[in-house]
A = this chain, B = another copy of it.
Amino acid sequence: MTRQDGRTFDQMRPVTIETGYLKYPHGSALIAFGDTKVICTVTVDEKVPPFLLSRPQPQGWLTCEYALMPAAGLSRNQRAGYGNTTVKGRVHEIQRMVGRALRAAIDLKKVGSRTLQIDCDVLQADGGTRTASVTGAMVALEIAVNKLMAEGKITENPLLTRVAAVSVGLHQGNVLLDLDYKEDSAAETDLNIVMTSEGGFIEVQGTAEKGVFSAAQLSDMLKLGETGIKRLFELQTKAIERARR
């Protein structure tokens, strides 16, 4: 049995990662999970937030902002700064998750007194924008780190691992990999998983939108998610290799 778009339950949407689309940021990646398209950029700011200045040992910082472009979804997303001065809760939740995931991949003590500013801007949203953001931002981060090392600004490679993320869902008794927007709306339980390339978990966020889920179901979802994430690590590797050339 297959899904509405013809995929099997354990199949991801077509994933593409394009690097070098933008010329100004230190690193960038335009990632697509099916119709979901996110531009991930890394801008280097040669200073750190004030709270880090008082620490005994100098260290860098990494922070993330996430936004939907106005025409990214079915209905228009109102821009910040036009009456709505506050960033929405969902946006905060996502950018905090992306930031945590990427900080797990890097030793900020080796970055120097600079901030790696990640921006994930969603051009089109069709489900999985946060998992595409983590996966694409990792590519942009590695490209930026490579550039900083080539520039001699960083001497020791600060990257500890790679991270990638995928969503899994429960729907009518089936476990589905990489939900698109329609599937995400219909699923009873939605799970987002961030892993390292060595296979450890960085973050597991499971939410029952309807009913509840059991420990056994959680276990099944984690196993399926792991297979998807392995595929993403292969695509990340290829994209970073292409960017090196």
Contacts and interface: CB of A to CB of B under 8 A. Distances in A.
Contacts of A212: 104, 195-196, 198, 200-202
**Chain A residues touching B, majority SS:** mixed
A69 B201 contact: no
Contact of A204 (B70, B81, B206): B206
Q: Which residue, A35, A73, A204, A211, has most C-beta atoms of chain B within 10 A?
A: A204
A73 B215 contact: no
A231 interface: no
B198 A202 contact: no
Contact of A41 (B70, B84, B104, B202): B70
Interface string A204-232: 11111001111100110011000000000
Interface string A71-92: 1111010011111111111101
B43 A76 contact: yes
Contact of A205 (B41, B71, B204): B204
A58 interface: no
Given A93-B92, A124-B24, A87 B82 contact: yes
